[in-house]
Structure formats: C-alpha cells, structure tokens
Structure 1
Amino acid sequence: YVEVLSGGPLAEVLRGVRPVFADAPAARDALPELVGTGPDVPSGQRAILAPLRGRRRVIGAAVFLRRPERPAFEPDDLLIAAQLATHTALGVDKAVLYGREAYIADELQRTMLPDELPQPTGCQLASRYLPAAETARVGGDWYDAIPLPGSRVALVVGDVMGHSMTSAAIMGQLRTTVQTLAGLDLPPQEVLHHLDEQAQRLGSDRMATCLYAVYDPVAHRIVIANAGHPPPVLLHRDGHAEVLRIPAGAPIGVGGVDFEAVELDAPAGATLLLYTDGLVESRQRDVWTGIEHLREKLTATARLTRPGTSAPLEPLCDEVLDILGPGDRDDDIALLAARFDGIAPSDVAYWFLDPRAQTAGQARRLARRALARWDLEELTDSVELLVSELVTNAVRYAERPITLRLLRTETLRCEVGDDVPQLPRLRQARATDEGGRGLYLVNRLARRWGATRLSTGKVVWFELSVS
C-alpha cells in the first residue's frame, strides 16, 4: 500500500492513464515514490510503469520489468502493458465491488432477521441463521415468530430463490408483508395467497418458498400451509421424529394457485423444526435424502435425553446443524425450533357474555371464582377492577356476545373480545370527563396490556404477575 501524494510525480503519472517507460522524466521521479528504497529498478527501457484504471478511477499501478540480460522493451510493448493493466484493474475493481455488494447484502439480510424471538405463552422458541460460505453469494432465507391473539403464535420460515442483494431486498419485503398479514389474523392459506399476490406486484422474476404455521397452546393444535417449502419435522417427547406430510403447494410468485392448510395435533413436549433447504440439500445429496438424515439425527439426539423428557432446545439446534457436511455451504440456512408446552385445560377459563348493562358485574363474579379455584385470591381486587373496565367498554359498543378468557401460566392473562374493530386508545382524561380512565387504570396496574384487531372484531388483553 502506497499513499499517493497530491501533486507529486506518482500522482502525475497516474493521471496520465497510459503506461510509460521508466526512463521518462515523470516515471523516473515516480518510481521511488511507488517502490520505495527497495531493489534498484532497471534503467532504460527495461521497466514500464502502468496505471491500473478501474471503471471510474485509478486504483493502483503496476511495474513491468525485464532482466538486464534480456532485450529492452519496445514501443509496442506499451500497448501490451496497457491491455494487461486494464484487465488487471477491471478484475481488481470487480472483486472490490463484489465484496462490497456481498457485505451490504449480508448486513441487509441480518438486519431484517429478528434481533430476538418473542416469548409466547405455552411455547419455547430457538433459532439459528448461518450465511452461505464466502464462495457463495448471500441468499434470501428468513424466519420469524409473531405473537397472535389468544396466546397463539405464528411460525414462519421462507427462502427467496437466488443469491444477490436483490434476493435479500425481496426477502425483507416479503417478511414485512407476512408480519402485516399476521396482524390481521388471517388463516395460513390466506396469508400465503396474499403473499403470492404481493410477489406478483413486485414484478420480479424471483420466486420464494414459504411455510406458515399457527400454534394454539390452548387447543394443542397447529395449522400449517406450505408454498413449495421443505416440510417441517416434528420430534415427539418419546423420541420419535416424523416428517409432516402436508401439501407442498406452489412457490410464492407463481400466481394463480390455491394454497391448502392442514390442522394437526401439537402434543405437549413435542418440538417442531422449520428450516430452509440449505440445511438438507447440497451438491452431495438431494433434498429428500437430507430430510431423512435430519429426521435420523433428531431421533439419535432424543435417545441421549432422559426418558420422558424433551431435549433442551438450544443444544438441539446445535446438534441439528451438525448434519452439515465438510466444505463450503452452497446456501444460507435458517432454522426455527418451537417446543410445544401448551396450556392445560385446567388453567383456562372461558365465557361468552351477552352485551348488557349487568355484564360487567357478571364478569367480575366469574373472574373471582376462577381466581379462587386457582388460589390467586391476592389478585382478586386488581383483576375485578380491570376486567370490569374492559368489559364495560366492550358492552358499550358491541352488538354480539363478548368473550372473556383467563389464562394461568407464569402470569395471569385476561382477554376480552368483541365485534368492534376499532382499537382502544390510551388518553389522559380531563377532570370534567365522565369516562376515559379505564385504559389509564389498565396501563398503571397491569404488567403488560395490548389490543389486537381481528377479522371479526378485536381483543383487548392485560397480564398480571403471579407471585
């Protein structure tokens, strides 16, 4: 590396662009600046100084030498030196641009992946992401876990076909679309349908595969829809691993196809693994051979765990990645693992209530009985107050029966649902206002609270710590 002095002889030669013999006045003064105090450069026309000009700028210089016993360079050799310098400069320039693009694409992809996974009720999550080897370009793999109303969680994994910064950018757009669609609480097949429409509007020829699943810890069920993605693997508590047979569907971006969802049991203690094809497919094996290898690896890992217990989730992810063979990875890898803990029926209380003036009092009594059954009487005052506020707000506008549900896990969660899609907004009530203090109380007393719009209305919820 040489620092070029502004206005110096080397800068003058580099601005000239064309190769020159070392005995030219400009080159004679520039060579010491370029090569330093090292070996003497042959005199006469046995040395050529050639600027390396890239696409838009000079990126360096090359020196061509001939030994003293060989004939000196001729003027035609300047043309050959110019061609060699041009090809060298373009190659170096291309490598620099490629490295910069790969770095930007990799950073772009990493920033679009979740910084941390949520901690949904009744479900444990773990994930891994491995970029492709340096010899491959960045891809468009992604994963996500999105909390849904009713303590459910959406599990997503996808892969944009191709390897480039464009693939990473399309991945970011599709992931954002999935998050928006999940917020509408659409069925998995509808999410994929709208995602396919979004891909069509992007106007790109890139396709993507995607698997979207919704886990309900209360019902112990999972609904899955697939768009051309490798099937998930379910590891049961007893160590048996099975590849879930779900309709493969067409990739996102094909257009004009229907997606089908299947509903399956999600037994407590089971672990669902969602992954991209980089984990199971390589130049040495096809995708189905890799999936079978993954299933066998899960079964073997489960045998190392004490009978009747599930393998720890984080070490399980590390064991799964061990199926990768030696050598470069041709594709990046996204892995999402979900351990189904579920919520026992004895920890759930659920009611339908008619929207009447007396409903708030009825809701308080029902909540009080549930807390007494769970030995949580110390929360009675807070729960009755907050339930009364939420139910009163729901009754004021609802036309159909409202729902009240209590869930007891490491926290106590209360959910009130109605058929009004407008979400409540926290505001500071004035001294002369008769209402507007309900959410203020919820915000002050609850550990957490929120509201989610559904296709049939909304759900407002709050959580209290269980000592």
Structure 2
Amino acid sequence: MTKHPGAGKGTGGHAPGVHRTAADTPAGPPWGARPGAAGPQTDRLRYLDAATRQIAHGMNLDETLRELCRAAVPAFADVALVHLYAPLPVADDPADSSGVHVLRLHSADRAPPPGALGSGPAPSDADPVQAAQVVHLAATGPLARLLRAGRPVFGDLPGIRSVVAELLGVANTPGALPPGRRLILAPLHGRRHAIGSIVLVRGPGRADFTGDDLLVASQLATHTAVGIHKAVLYAREASAADTLQRTMLPPSLPEPAGVLLASRYLPSSRTAQVGGDWYDAIPLPGNRVALVIGDVMGHSLTSAAIMGQLRTVVQTLAGLDLPPDEVLHHLDEQAERLGSEHTATCLYAMYDPVLHRLLVSNAGHLPPVLLHPDGRTEVLPVPPGAPIGVGGGGFESTELHAPPGATLLLYTDGLVESRDSDVLTGVDRLRARLREAASGLGPPTLEELCDASLGTLGAGVRDDDIALLAARLEGIPPETVAYWYMAPRPQTARQARRLTRRTLRDWGLDSLVESAELMVSEIVANAVRFASRPITLRLLRTDVLRCEVGDDSPLVPRMRHARPHDEGGRGLFLVDQLAQRWGATRVSTGKLVWFEQSLPGDQEPD
C-alpha cells in the first residue's frame, strides 16, 4: 500500500505502482487469470482465508489498510482505492443523517502494467483509473445511501455509474469509466454506520468480475471494516489510558535547594491499558527531599487506581518526616487494608543536601544507579526488601554518602528489562549509556542524561511502561550553613539574636539583620515555652535566607490576632509581616518553624 496524498495528480493522475512478489500476496494465482488445478471455487476459498487473516494482522489504521491492499492487489484486482469518512465515526455514536459529509482518499494501490519492471507510475494510456482526493456527499444522496446499504455492487449498474464517477473524480461519460464489469464498489460498514468505501478495478487482459467476486469483495470489506473499527478504538483507548496515567503523575517537579530534578514517563507501546508506574519528588523539612519510584504490577484501571492510592499514602507519610523504612512499613500496611491482590514495588530515598547524605529503603524495587562526577557508575547496595502488599515488612534504611555533583537515577523495570534482555544485562547497558553520556567535555545536563538513559527505547517498541526520575545531588556548601543547639531557658532568645546577627554580618547580609533578629527572637521564645530538650537553630544561605527553629513539642503554633490590651500574641503576626514565606511543620522529633527572606539584589548567589 502507498500512502497517497497525491492520487489524481502527477503523470496521468495515477497512484504509484507497487511491484508485487509471491511473498506480498496471498497464495494462489492473480484473480481473473487461469484458475488453479483445484478449481476456481476452491481457489476463492483459499484466497479468502489467506486474505482475511492478512487483514487481521493490522494493529492500527494504516497497517489494516496496507494489508487490505496487499491482499487485494494483484491477486483479486489491479487497483484498490480506499476512501474513509472524515472524521471517522466510531463506537456506537449515532450516524448523522443530515448535512454534507466528506470522504477523503486514505489509501491507493495498483499493480504494475504488464511488462513493467519495478515500481513507478503506469503510462497514462495503460490505466485510466484515478481517484478523487475529497468527495463531498449529501447525507441523503445516492452515494451515502449506497454506503449505508453496505452491499457491494458492480460499477456498470444503472444509477451506480454516477456514484463511481464521484469516487474516481471523473465525468460520467462514455470512456471515462472502466467498461463492463471491471469495477466493484464495496462499502465499508461498521456496526451502526458507514465508514467509507473500497473501489476494486481490473485492468485490460483480465476477466470481468463475477457474482462470486461480489461475495469475495464483501468479505474483504467486512473484515477491513472490523479492522478499522478495532484500530480506531484501540488508538482512542491508548490515548485515554495515557492521559489517565499522566494525570496521576506530578504535573511538575519541585525545585528544592541543593538538588536538580528531571523525569521521563513513557507508556507501553504494546497495550492500550494504563499501567501502574509512578514517581514523585516531595520537599521535606530542613531542605531535604524525598525521591520516590514505584510500580504496581499489571496493566489495568485497577492497577492505576491502586497506584494513585499508594502515591497519596506516600505523600502523607512523607509529610510526617518518617525514616524511609517506616514509610515503607506503613505503606505496606495500607496496601494490605486495600484488600487487593495486586502487589507493588517501591523505593524511597531521602536526600539531605546539607549533610550530603542519602537514606534509602527498598521494597522489592530495582536498586538505583549513582553516576559519580568523574563518570563512574555504581549500583547502590540497598537491601531489596519484600514488595508492598506481600506483608512481613522487614524494611531497612541504608545510609550512603552522596558526593556533590553526583546524579541519582531511579527507574522502573521497563527501562532495563525486555523480551531479549534480562534485568542484569539491562542495568549494565544503562550504566554504559550513562558513562558514555558523561564522557564528553563537560558534565551532561539532566535532560541529556534522561535521553541517554532511554536510548532507543524513546522511539522504539516498548513492552512495558517506563518511569524515570533523575536527581543531580549538588548539595549545599557548608560555608552557607550555620547550626546550633541551645538549652530551653529564658536567656536563649537573646543568645539566638546574637548568633543570628553575627552570622548574617559574616555573610554580608547586614540589611537583613534587624528583621531576622526580631523573627528569630519571637520563634525561639515560643519554642522555649514548650520544649523540654535542646532547641535547634539553623540558618541557610541559598537563593534565599532561611531560618529554622526546631523543638521536641508537637504543638504547632498558630497565628492569632491580639487585642489592643493583650501583652502577647503578636509574635507570629510580626513574622507573617516581615518574612517572604514562613510555616510550621510537624516532624518525627517534634516540630520545625521556619521563615525565608529574599536576599539583597547584589547578594544573590550565582
């Protein structure tokens, strides 16, 4: 079959010829030539069996019509033209019985003229058949009625010649149409409405079509219509499944200080069903970030629903600032409560850019790969653990050093496992692609690393979904961090003001000293009221100035509006007025109250 945007144009207005071999067409001699030894009826049955199976091989619209043309030309006809409604009606949508409809030429194929070698346009006097690119037909006109009837007809019947002339784009005059019964018009009919037509033409030197050939054309059209219906529904389901999957993934990634993030998600190209792969990046208190990757087994709406629930549970648990092993433990418990037989794998990594530390726990997922700044790759030694939903727990948190400038790669098994490659081989290939990407003159960007990780999978056939999360662990330089422990006593607020003032002056942030001192004093004084253990004070200078005060009380302060005669209650109101942003978060050790201030214009770091 030839995609034919120019049918009816060019030399003689002919579609390109296609040279056929025995492997291109169903078994048996060209139809209309001498019959086989077994008799014409047996030949027709054999031909139909091979042709209908060939048409069924098509997985999409183009493949279905290509297989139709390969089955029809030249074994049954010398020319095959396919017009389809634009847009195509599908499913059980009611047919529109009013207005003007449009048929567009989708496919055209023809056998070479006798004696021609290879492919190419036929001489203009050897084959007068052409095709109309666009046909406008009234819903109640003769062509529309013929297509709705769904029965193939000969082109020389009274009342049909004008319809055929429309499809061929020629005048209904003597000599403009193939003479005799050399043309069959076979409607393509879905379950409830017409979807197009097939025109089959025999050239000079072959016998005319017979009544039995009408039955053959009917079968070709019926199986082609079924294939078109299946292909269009498949494409719509695949698009809907992909949209559903993507709505369950993060619409964008956060931009925490000390780490750069990039991601990829590619749905399987072999199924229209939604999968259960997901990834996430969740900011945590103290400038840390949780990096999550997971995979619910199976491809179905149930898998997607479970994935959405597990992802929500992980986000909730991350907000409690639990260690990675406890997050997976509670996730496993929640999965059991869901009462589903589906299992999932999940890897949860917590990155601290100040301490340059990774804390990782794994639930049956593939271990992450770390690309070092010097180009070396390492599969992190993380105990695998049991998958989520199996029960039994036993998850461990592994602490690892995260060199500044290293890149952590989390991925699902679709990236490294396929029909012709096991997981170990796939991981080795992934590491080789990462090393090659890092061997250039400069360090590769995260986007370049993601593209390199996918390799040819980005444009090729994929057996499974692929989720990929890459994190460049840049870290926060120690000279931009100040950290203290202070006893919870009345003098602590004054001590905190002094430490803040000295640190900001050392950093050249004199213009922020007065406001930062006031806010630190208010927050520390509030912490002293409830803390029973030492209070923490941390200042960080990144793209903003951030102050964090932590204590062991879970009571989170709330801003309230003090009355004129009240002596207190104005601390958080002042913080709210002076800070660019502020907040209070419960953590596993108590709570953390923080605020941020914009740096002066000439003090912003590169």
Query: What range is the shorter-chain TM-score in?
Result: 0.7 to 0.9
Residue aligned with 1:251, SS: coil
RMSD: 3.8
1:443 aligns with 2:566: no
Aligned length: 461
Residue aligned with 2:240, SS: helix
Counterpart-to-counterpart distance in 1, 2:320 and 2:264: 27
* Letter paired with 2:428: E
1:12 aligned to which of 118, 131, 145: 145
Structure 2-normalised TM-score? 0.65
Counterpart-to-counterpart distance in 1, 2:252 and 2:455: 23
1:148 aligned to which of 284, 292, 315: 284
Percent identity (aligned): 64
Match of 2:372 in 1: 236
Match of 1:389 in 2: 522
1:349 aligned to which of 472, 478, 483: 483
Structure 1-normalised TM-score? 0.81
Counterpart-to-counterpart distance in 1, 2:496 and 2:320: 27
CA contact (8 A) 1:13 1:26 kept: no
Residue aligned with 2:367, SS: coil
Alignment of 1:293-372 (within 5 A): 293-299=429-435, 302=438, 304=440, 313-322=446-455, 327-345=460-478, 347-354=481-488, 359-372=492-505
Match of 1:105 in 2: 241
Counterpart-to-counterpart distance in 2, 1:25 and 1:357: 107
2:542 aligned to which of 409, 413, 416: 409
Q: Against the structure 1 CA distance between its residues 29 and 165, is the aligned structure 2 distance closer, same or farther, given a 3 Å change threshold?
A: farther
Alignment of 1:30-109 (within 5 A): 30-37=163-170, 48-64=184-200, 70=207, 72-74=209-211, 80-109=216-245
Counterpart-to-counterpart distance in 1, 2:215 and 2:500: 90
Match of 2:259 in 1: 124
* Letter paired with 2:485: W
Counterpart-to-counterpart distance in 2, 1:56 and 1:459: 64
How many Å apart are 1:93 and its aligned residue? 1.0
CA contact (8 A) 1:349 1:370 kept: no
Counterpart-to-counterpart distance in 2, 1:129 and 1:229: 18
Counterpart-to-counterpart distance in 1, 2:320 and 2:236: 38
How many Å apart are 1:96 and its aligned residue? 0.7
Structure 2 stretches lacking a partner, 5+ long? 1-103, 105-134
Counterpart-to-counterpart distance in 1, 2:140 and 2:338: 50
How many Å apart are 1:403 and its aligned residue? 3.5
1:286 aligns with 2:419: no
Q: Against the structure 1 CA distance between its residues 171 and 311, is the aligned structure 2 distance closer, same or farther, given a 3 Å change threshold?
A: same
Give deviations 1:426-466, integer Å, cap 9, x for gaps. Answer: 67667677665444433332233233233444322111233
Residue aligned with 2:138, SS: coil
Counterpart-to-counterpart distance in 1, 2:256 and 2:155: 72
Match of 1:192 in 2: 328
1:268 aligned to which of 390, 404, 409: 404
- Report which stretch shifted further, 241-250 or 369-378: 369-378
Counterpart-to-counterpart distance in 1, 2:555 and 2:197: 67
How many Å apart are 1:208 and its aligned residue? 3.3
Counterpart-to-counterpart distance in 1, 2:456 and 2:151: 54
Counterpart-to-counterpart distance in 2, 1:323 and 1:30: 48
Counterpart-to-counterpart distance in 2, 1:397 and 1:232: 41
Q: Choose between structure 1 and 2 for higher RCO, CA contacts under 8 A separated by at least 6 residues.
A: 1
Counterpart-to-counterpart distance in 2, 1:220 and 1:321: 28
Counterpart-to-counterpart distance in 2, 1:3 and 1:205: 54
How many Å apart are 1:413 and its aligned residue? 1.3
* Letter paired with 2:140: G
Q: Against the structure 1 CA distance between its residues 396 and 57, is the aligned structure 2 distance closer, same or farther, given a 3 Å change threshold?
A: farther
Counterpart-to-counterpart distance in 2, 1:28 and 1:433: 97
Q: Which structure has the bigger radius of gyration?
A: 2
- Report which stretch shifted further, 129-138 or 4-13: 129-138
Counterpart-to-counterpart distance in 2, 1:205 and 1:55: 37
How many Å apart are 1:213 and its aligned residue? 0.2
Match of 2:390 in 1: 254
Structure 1 stretches lacking a partner, 5+ long? none
CA contact (8 A) 1:151 1:216 kept: yes
Counterpart-to-counterpart distance in 2, 1:40 and 1:424: 89
How many Å apart are 1:127 and its aligned residue? 1.8
Residue aligned with 2:370, SS: strand
